[in-house]
Amino acid sequence: MHNKAERLRKITSVKIAEVAPELAHRVPPGQTVTERFPILHEGEVPLYDLNSWSLRVFGEVEQERTFSFEELMALPQSKTLCDIHCVTRWSKLGTEWEGVKFADLLPLLGAKPEARYVMIHADEDYETNLPLEDLLHEDVLLAHRFDGEPLTDKHGWPLRLLVPHLYFWKSAKWIRGIEFMKEDRPGFWERNGFHNYADPFKEERFSSDEFLMPEDEWMKKEFD
């Protein structure tokens, strides 16, 4: 993954994407709207036995605990319709997801008052950081369904994070842990030159303005 981060920091853009005027308010600068759903990940796609799968909650909590997939499915389920935006310059509009709202899950997690940040841990050896307040947006889910169907393995089955208002690397696939933290610390891509917060409408792609992203990077990937 480190080699990929280095490559993405060095490549340059050839042109700026154009979008239809009626979509302009929904599409961040430099993005291309697509009907495709590109598949981006490093390493092997993990496969799980749901009987042994678990989600661990730890860090600044009153008591560490784990959730089985069955326990998460027994919680209130929510749907959200949202646009998603990848740092590799694609945007997919009007996507439908289903899962557990992070805001609904939070009261069950025993987070201490001083917990202000969260590190999401995921397979394969991935992590990404977010302010806790961002996870409390109404459309932020621990998602297990997309477009009315269970997530496919390549899109994060059985559980992924969905944070539509940030670049999609923050919406980690294959999540396995939620770590509450007093202070922020960078995750994998954030340690390798990507922006710490990742607001698409501010083009917070990288930690330095010297890095650029080519318009067609996403077209080189597998997609649904």
Q: What is the pLDDT of residues 15-67, one digit of tens each?
A: 334 567 887 899 999 898 998 888 876 668 999 999 999 999 999 999 999 99
Q: Is residue 168 a contact partner of residue 87, using CB atoms and an 8 Å limit?
A: yes
- The whole domain housing 70 covers 2-223
The string of pLDDT tens digits covering residues 175-221 is 999 999 999 999 999 999 999 999 999 999 997 665 555 555 545 55
The string of pLDDT tens digits covering residues 126-142 is 999 999 999 999 999 99
Closest CA to 69 of 163, 157, 162, 179: 157
Report in angstroms the alpha-carbon separations of 34 from 10, 26, 27, 37, 83: 25, 13, 11, 8, 11
- The CATH number given to whatever domain includes residue 128 is 3.90.420.10
Going by C-beta distance under 8 Å and a sequence separation of 6 or more, which residues neighbour residue 173? 41, 122, 155, 156, 160
Report in angstroms the alpha-carbon separations of 208 from 17, 152, 195: 21, 34, 8
The one-letter code for the residue type at 65 is: R
Please report the pLDDT score of residue 41 as a whole number: 66
Residue 122 scores a pLDDT above 60: yes
Domain count along the chain: 1
Write the Ramachandran bin of 15: left for phi over 0, alpha for psi from -120 to 50, otherwise beta. Answer: beta
Rounded Cα gap, residues 91 and 87, in angstroms: 9
pTM: 0.86
pLDDT classification of 14: cutoffs 50, 70, 90? very low
Q: Is residue 94 a contact partner of residue 147, using CB atoms and an 8 Å limit?
A: no
Rounded Cα gap, residues 105 and 67, in angstroms: 11
